[in-house]
Amino acid sequence: MEPTHVLVPLDGSPLSEDALAYALSVFGCQVTVLNVVTPLDAGMSEGGVLELRDERIEPARRRADRLIERARSRAAAEGRTIESAVEAGDPAETILSYADRHDVDHIAIGGHGDDPNGLLERLLGTVATTVVAEAPITVTVVRERADVGVEDGDADGSGGDANAGDGPDAGGDH
């Protein structure tokens, strides 16, 4: 079943850009790009809620605006338009929540984000891994840089989709 709404989380990494190119080239439906703003030095309130102070969030929001503008330009170059959103919070939780709240039925995500030193991955685990494990919808993970075009049904170089809601264990624990 073809999706009607694809979500592409953008973090500025080359693989997230490739995930957008994949979504635009493969799906003719609505595509929304989402940037999750999460300053590394954000504190936690007593209730465990992420506190985003203005002086920390403004540079991150400006960066998000630049990422979304690049995504709009890329879509326009292909004769497409995209929707966009910027939200604050934990990346994986925010992606999953956004997908649920906005009737997203497919997520195309880069295999790892813009973390050249690997520090976030070691501390937090990978966002893509969490999204694949917890999403009740199909997730396509773009794992390698490649020319994003459809050849032999494997345009993203990942070997296919991670169906986190389809198949024999749908509805069960993932």
| Per-residue pLDDT reduced to its tens digit, 128-140 | 889 999 999 999 9
| Per-state percent for the chain, helix, strand, coil, to nearest 5 | 35, 20, 45
Which pLDDT score is estimated for 66? 95
CA-based end-to-end distance of the chain: 21
Model pLDDT for residues 20-48, shown as the tens digit of each residue: 999 999 999 999 999 998 755 554 444 44
- Per the structure, the complete domain to which residue 144 belongs is given by 5-163
Which pLDDT score is estimated for 163? 44
pLDDT band at 56 (very low <50, low <70, confident <90, very high): low
Nearest-angstrom CA–CA distance, 45 and 155: 43
Percent of the chain with pLDDT over 70: 63
Nearest-angstrom CA–CA distance, 129 and 55: 31
59: domain CATH number is: 3.40.50.620
In a domain, 173, yes or no: no
- Given a cut of 60, whether residue 123 has pLDDT beyond it is no
Nearest-angstrom CA–CA distance, 142 and 19: 6
Residue 30, classified by CB atoms within 10 Å of its CB into exposed (0-12), middle (13-18) or buried (19+), is middle
Domain count, the chain: 1
